[in-house]
Structure 1
Amino acid sequence: MTILARTPAVFGLVMATSVTFAAPASATECIAPSNPGGGWDFTCRTIGRILSELDLVDGNVQVTNMPGGVGAVTYAMVVNERPADADLIVATSTVGITQIAQGRYPAPVDAVRYLAMLGADVGVIAVDDESPIQSLEQLTEQMASDPGALVTAGSSGAGGWDHLRLLMVAREGGLEDLSALRWVQFDGGTDAVTQMMGGQIDVVSTDMGEIAGFVESGDIRILAALSDEPIPAFPDIPTAKSQGVDVTGYNWRGLYTGGDVSDEDYDKWVANLETLYNSEEWQTAAKESGLIPIWRGGAEFSEFVKSEAQVMEDISRDIGVIQ
């Protein structure tokens, strides 16, 4: 099946980029849909290296950087040109799925096959240590009853992942008009927390990895970790789930492959990635990079991605990011 990019500009980038970067089908390749550096590049280079070290692939894994459209250029190339290439894997994350959910990719979420999540930063909801808000329950009650009285912030714009996961919490807590919650964007979680400590912001939604130092110093209070289980380095911080708010907010790292890859090849990739995940090499590399190793693979991961994309789409529509 061929799916064309939605705009000529994106399609032109796809065609030009694919001619430049496409690797021979016989070589194992991991595409990072970004320039060198950052999460997608780390995913490909680290996983590629360990796949080779553990002899899970023949030879070395070729890493290709293919920036454009926050992953949209790569997505279109895979869907249109290499949908059945079983030697191709592509780095993705929560950021990419958010883009798909908001219609910014040239094909729907089910145009590819999702292999595995191997690690994640965990989202947290934080307040200043002197805030009168003492619990997640108190926060959700206030967001539901008087959302305009709170100023919330994070490192993404309106409709970005930091914003969406706070809105997920707010919706679970009873807020119906999600657009009523005030949101301010900063360049990073650290900047948002600094402003919160100065009294300009009431609540921050961000990754624990960005603000762990403030937690260790006692300058802020984490109301909830948006994870299935407590964060290993901060086991006393309660999860949202443990407080009756069924929300997870991982900024996860994972991989997909072409939508026409056979079940046999797909299952082999999932099995090899699970072997990699359980290896000392991956566990060490993930933790050293600030990730919490988390495994979701195969059908479970695919359903997780599709469910997450639907939630993001619904919330994005509710707040007017998409129509």
Structure 2
Amino acid sequence: MRFLMHGFCLVACSLLAPYEYAHSATPECIVPGSPGGGGDLTCQLIKSALAEAKVFNEPMQVSYMPGGVGAVTYNTIVVQRPAEPDTLIAWSSGSLLNIAQGKFGRFDESAVRWVAAVGKSYGAIAVRSDSPYQNLDDLVKALKKQPRRVLFGSGGTAGGQDWVQAALIAKAAGIDIADLRYIALESGGESATALLGGYTEVSSTDVFESMPYVRRGQMRLLAVLAEQRLDGELKDIPTAKEQGYDIVCPVVRGYYLGPNVSDEDYARWKTLFDQQLASDQFARLRAERRLLPFALTGDELQAYVQQQVKHYKALIKDLRKE
């Protein structure tokens, strides 16, 4: 089975003259989790981009709203803060996966206004640098022998993005997914803390979230869950595919707005993102955060979100019938 999102298109937009709509309000980007994870990275990206482009008179505020791996934020925006024109909320493929399973309560993907997808990364399987597991085969052998002795820890609940990655590894090992030992943590930052502290043995994570720890010699990556090896400092990390496990898990990142944000303000943000995504400046900032190019805005993004939620519903159904 492949956990793979097919196709994406780069929105082609001409660069407009310097922004004509600098607002006096203080913009906000909400991280639906704790500091240090992928949501934080996503908000810091747009904060830096807006600061360099001098779009607002005040720097963007990044705030944190952990709880329910995004559910608290989603419900708060829909119910209590639905019309704030300059409040962005970070989302990822994991958000869509949770929506597909009804984990955001009574609200589905139509409850908010998806404005931009700006980059992607890939899942990875990480261990401490002193782990006995040297590759995926070592991990799979351990799972086959004593599945209840291998403890995974990741940001997100059972059924979330990181859990799916772990479940696909368990499936490759031929074990019942019900026997998978998995601790759900609030964010990638907490997952790293648990792994390095010895509370977990394996982290199903995001490759770029893990790299700071890899550089410091604290973690090793057993595999990146990409179609082929990535470039640069990741070139020596093998894919799951080349180790014999056909598992590919992209992670798309972006932003949404509240459901009652006006069409005018939504269009303003769409135009801004179209400009940013076509600029060398944004490409540089995205690369600095180790995100790969991925660009969708407006109606194209809305259609993508709907397609992905449908895809995830089928994926989870298939995994849980094993």
Q: TM class by shorter-chain length? A: 0.5 to 0.7
Distance 2:52 2:156 in 1: 39
Query: Do residues 239 (structure 1) and 239 (structure 2) align?
Result: yes
Tell me the amino acid that sits aligned with residue 292 of structure 1.
L
Distance 2:51 2:198 in 1: 45
Kept in 2, the 8 Å contact 1:123–1:205? The answer is: yes
Tell me the amino acid that sits aligned with residue 309 of structure 2.
K
Selected match of 1:192 from 174, 191, 195: 195
Match of 2:285 in 1: 285
Distance 1:188 1:48 in 2: 24
Kept in 2, the 8 Å contact 1:165–1:249? The answer is: no
Matches within 5 A, 1:29-178: 29-33=27-31, 37-38=35-36, 40=39, 43-44=42-43, 46-51=45-50, 53-54=52-53, 63=61, 65=63, 67=65, 69-70=67-68, 71-80=70-79, 89-94=88-93, 96-97=95-96, 99-100=98-99, 101=101, 103-119=103-119, 122-126=122-126, 136=136, 143=143, 148=147, 151-156=150-155, 159=158, 161-171=161-171, 173=172, 175=174, 177-178=176-177
Tell me the amino acid that sits aligned with residue 114 of structure 1.
W
Alignment deviations for residues 222-280 of structure 1 (CA, whole Å, 9 cap, x no partner) = 33202355253211323335555142153x53101345778897676445324323534
Distance 1:34 1:158 in 2: 14
Kept in 2, the 8 Å contact 1:110–1:306? The answer is: no
Distance 1:219 1:64 in 2: 28
Report the alpha carbon displacement of residue 47 of structure 1 after superposing the two structures with TM: 1.3
Structure 2: runs of 5+ lacking an equivalent: 1-22
Kept in 1, the 8 Å contact 2:24–2:58? The answer is: no
The alignment covers a number of residue pairs equal to: 286
How well do the aligned residues superpose, as a CA RMSD in angstroms? Answer: 4.8
Distance 2:318 2:146 in 1: 16
Tell me the amino acid that sits aligned with residue 91 of structure 1.
A
Distance 1:132 1:215 in 2: 16
Report the alpha carbon displacement of residue 311 of structure 1 after superposing the two structures with TM: 6.2
Distance 2:47 2:218 in 1: 39
Distance 1:68 1:134 in 2: 34
Tell me the amino acid that sits aligned with residue 248 of structure 2.
V
Normalising to structure 1: TM-score of the pair? 0.62
Sequence identity, in percent?
29
Normalising to structure 2: TM-score of the pair? 0.62
